[in-house]
Amino acid sequence: MSTQDTLARWHAQMEAGERRDWDAVMAHFDPDCEWWLVTSGKRFRGALEIRLFLESGLGAADRDKPEIRGEFASGDWGLFEYTSRGIINKGVNRFSAVTNPKAVRRSPSATDVSRVVRSLVMGFVMRLARIFLIGRRFEIPVCFIYHLNERGLIDRVNEYVGKKSFARGGQSTP
């Protein structure tokens, strides 16, 4: 892969995502791609998991045009860094469900009762937190390191997310 081909592949999938054209986005990914959120340890494997993650993540906010901070490529590896800004909307509930799925148990044993209660309380706390986030402006630095396979498709993404910053309503972040 040339440097220009590697950069063009990343930009093409980002532009398709901004249009919410999910079929076009996924055309840039290998069906067996792995997307790793390095800072949280969460991994999405395969086209379906990655598509759900991207759809829910981009649907969780009304986003401003990304501020590209830097990018480069060398052969089949690329790096893209930008600042994501926008206002959180009700889609944050779906995003949270995709990135933090709850384990479902049919009949917990007596030893699991405290774990179940803790899970219910944390679920309530998280729902409450999401309610207070809706309508707030955010700013998050994000960096992607990605790889293209021999067919020129993205087959690996490592995503690093910096410290989030929030402000009330439409105010800008510090």
Tens-binned pLDDT, residue by residue, of the chain (174 aa): 789 999 999 999 999 988 989 999 999 999 999 999 998 888 999 999 999 888 887 777 888 888 999 999 999 999 999 999 988 877 666 565 566 654 333 444 445 555 555 555 555 555 555 666 788 888 899 999 999 999 999 999 999 998 766 655 554 444
Q: How far apart are CA 20 and CA 140, in angstroms?
A: 20
For residue 30, give the nearest of 146, 144, 145 by alpha carbon. Answer: 146
Q: How far apart are CA 159 and CA 15, in angstroms?
A: 18
Partners of residue 48 on adjacent β-strands: none
Task: Report the length, in residues, of the chain.
Answer: 174
Q: How far apart are CA 108 and CA 104, in angstroms?
A: 10
Put simply, whether the predicted model's pTM sits higher than 0.85 gets the answer: no
Domains with residue ranges and CATH for the chain: 3-104+111-166 (3.10.450.50)
